[in-house]
Amino acid sequence: MDYADLMRAKPDGYHSAAQALRRFGEDVRDRAVDYWNQVVQPLKDTSSSGIWGAAAEAAQVPMMDLQLALNRAADQIEAVPQILTRYASDLEGFQRRLHGIVAEARTTGAEINDTGQVTVSAQVQQNNPDRPKLAEEIAADIRRILEQATQRDVDYSVEIRDALADETLDAHDVGTQYRDAIKDAHRAARLLEAGSLNDMSGQLLTLLRENADNPEFAAALFTQLGGNSTVEALQRLAMLRGMDEGIARSGAGRSQADELDAIHTELGKALAMATDPDSTFHVDMSADSQWLHDFRAAGKDTFGGSAVTDPVTGYQVIGGVLRNGTFSEEFLDVVSDDMYAMEQRDPDVFQVATDAKVDPNPLDGLMVAFEKNPAAATDFFSQHPERIDYMLDRNGAHGYEASGQAHVIDAIDAATRGADPGSPGFNIFERTIQHMGDQSVDAVGLVNNQARESMGQLLQGHMGQVHDAFGGADNMNLEPQTDSALNRVLGDVAHSPEPRSTARVAIGSVS
């Protein structure tokens, strides 16, 4: 900034611009709120607005992008007026100081032209003997003011640029985090669809970790993919994990198993957030949701398969990610019905030989998910009590690992712990004890070795019944055959020290 610039500057113009921007910012903010209430919110919450279908789903992301643009514009407009007002005030101060220097210089007889050049005649210098370098002194004072004004001008220009930069905005309704999450979600979706091993283990994992616990990112990611492509993406990941294991075994390259396993874990957490209808942001979970319809259809469909490998169902890979997140009751109700019905129709549907790394027992993954959601576990077992018998027996009957029974009992524990007599949870407990203590089977082996600790925990959750049955007292809450079965189960559990100790603690606590 030079002398002429500072002299010509009009601070009042900056004050006027600031006032106009404030008024305009208020108008834009009002329009952004109207747009949210009348357009974006109805498109997002399809269950209450009655707007649904492929067109509505396709419009959600671009309409949200426009909402973000409106919020961004309002934030930018609102941030600038206060900067302009401060700049105008500082400018007025610099001008007052410069005018003061000029006025004082002229009292000495010095002349200052329009560019700030100082001229002191010999006569003027002679009239100011106490200031032998009068011209240099006045010029130095002017230069100091101009340097300060120039630096302040630069400072304010940087501040204005920062205020207008996307990353520094604080958007009101959706927020900077959501705007960034949308971009990251679209990038993550493209990487999942491309299915590149190196890109997945590098870029995709970074995006997932940076947006961990971010429901906005999760909803945008799976909405962008759609229900069918979500399952296809999980299938590609399963194939890549299997391929990576083959590479590692052959010594043909470095294993990226840790990175791929981490992606599998993060996708499970993200899918749980995206399918929670109580979350602020989620995929459409309504009964007629196209996303959910496509997801379920892909879960029942198969992929892969060759002359030496079996095709794998989508639910085989879904069962794996169920282990990783805390899924909603609504989502688990849907997928559990599908998975259970599939195995009822074809007991061997999940027993496959494949190069893909899939969950060898996807219903185990479902049971793990139930452990984290007792309400969903209660619904699954109470609505169809025969499921209790089937799930307790299925691992041995179908040749799955014995550890699966422990997952079933843990899920039953979640559904029944603290349940009052006569409640659905208590009825599940009673049915479980009747089945596991059935007189028609051998006294030892009712619960497999790997599940005895889980059974001990289940019994601990019903201390009163355990105490009465073990002590021989009449149990008013259990039918006689259940009371007898409970004694048999206690005797069976007693073959393992840790669950036996758990049972003793339970008995002692109510004695």
Please state whether beta strands 118-119 and 302-303 pair in parallel, antiparallel, or not at all (unpaired): unpaired
For 313-336, what is the HEC assignment?
Answer: EHHHHHHHHCCCCCCCHHHHHHHH
Quick one: tokens of 90?
Answer: 């500082």
Quick one: tokens of 173?
Answer: 């309704």
Using DSSP's 3-state secondary structure scheme, residue 439 falls into coil
Domain boundaries, the chain: 3-164
Q: Report the C-alpha gap between 196 and 203 in whole angstroms.
A: 10
Q: Report the C-alpha gap between 189 and 383 in whole angstroms.
A: 37
Using DSSP's 3-state secondary structure scheme, residue 385 falls into coil
Closest CA to 455 of 395, 505, 496, 400: 496
> What angle in degrees, to the nearest 10, is found between the helix axes of 403-416 and 386-397?
160
- From first CA to last CA, the distance across the chain in angstroms is 89
Q: What is the pLDDT of residue 247?
A: 64
Q: What is the pLDDT of residue 312?
A: 86
Using DSSP's 3-state secondary structure scheme, residue 111 falls into strand
Closest CA to 407 of 372, 459, 444: 372
The pTM (predicted TM-score) of the whole model is 0.61
**Amino acid residing at 207:** L
The angle at the Cα of 157, spanning 156 to 160, to the nearest 5 degrees, equals: 85
Fold of 3-164: Ferritin (1.20.1260)
Q: Are 71 and 173 in contact (CB under 8 A)?
A: yes
**pLDDT tens by residue, the chain, 511 residues:** 789 888 988 888 888 888 888 888 888 888 878 877 777 777 665 555 555 555 556 566 677 777 777 777 777 777 788 888 888 888 899 999 999 999 999 999 999 998 889 999 999 999 999 999 999 999 999 999 888 888 888 778 777 777 776 443 443 344 444 447 788 888 899 888 887 766 676 788 888 998 888 898 999 999 989 999 999 999 888 888 877 776 666 665 556 778 888 999 999 999 999 999 998 889 998 888 899 999 999 999 988 766 657 788 999 999 999 999 999 999 999 999 999 999 999 988 888 777 677 777 889 999 999 999 999 999 999 999 999 999 988 876 555 666 788 899 999 999 998 888 889 999 999 899 888 887 665 555 577 777 878 888 888 877 666 665 555 455 556 666 677 778 778 777 766 555 445 544 444 444 4
